[in-house]
Amino acid sequence: MGKMIYVPTAGAQSWQALLADPTKQWPTGYSARTLAHCWEAAEGLPPEIAALFGSDTELLIAIPEHKVSLRDTGRESQTDVFALVKSSNRTIAVAVEGKVNESFGPTISDWYVDASLRKQQRLAFLCELIGTECPPPGDIHYQLFHRAASAILEADRFKTDDAAMIVHSFAQDRRGFDAYAAFLDLFELAAEAGKLVSKTLPHGRTIHFGWAQGDPRFLSL
């Protein structure tokens, strides 16, 4: 379980200390630094994020590098930004994954090689939670599973109406979009940049997915 007491940031630089590797992950042009400057500059939600949800969307709170327990003894899922958002009188627990040129990490096949019992149990839990078959296709990226699960788990914890997983990308060539689209295909959803798509899960929770294209000016800050 991560820390339960949070303090306001003092600007983008405050985000650096929260990273798993504050030195390696903070160079100019990398997603962590770019995302921090973008969100700190916004009065509320960055416009490309707000556009996904609609004109009446309001940011209630945003927490950088938010750790979410996956209900086992393994490593927590560290969400780049966790936000509570109000849209059309519904509250939404939003897990944001920032990207520039970074990949979504290992595929299920790579992550699951010689899987321990703990990994087997974790994957089964994630698949059940997000409503996909287990084991899932091996070419889907593991990070997308635990990031979507984080949104659902926090929606349950905060008792919000919906959950959402958003990729906030600053890559000008939309690198990683195909991986995101392949993940959405598991839900029989068609991925489209700048558009929110939704799925009602077997347990009744609605989860939204979106790909937001970030402003490239933050890449140089």
Q: What is the pLDDT at residue 44? A: 93
How far is residue 196's CA from residue 49's CA, in Å, rounded to a whole number?
10
Q: What is the pLDDT at residue 58? A: 96
Q: What is the pLDDT at residue 158? A: 97
Tokens of 4: 């339960």
Model pLDDT for residues 67-88, shown as the tens digit of each residue: 999 988 778 999 999 999 999 9
Residues 4-29 as b or e (16 or more Cβ within 10 Å = b) = eeeeebeebeebbebbeeeeebbeee
- Structural contact between residues 198 and 127, judged by C-beta atoms closer than 8 angstroms: no
- Structural contact between residues 12 and 36, judged by C-beta atoms closer than 8 angstroms: yes
Q: What percent of the chain has pLDDT over 70?
A: 99
Tokens of 219: 């890449």
How far is residue 2's CA from residue 34's CA, in Å, rounded to a whole number?
24
State pTM to two decimals.
0.96
Q: What is the pLDDT at residue 176? A: 97
The full set of domain ranges for the chain reads 13-220
Q: What is the mean pLDDT of residues 143-154?
A: 97
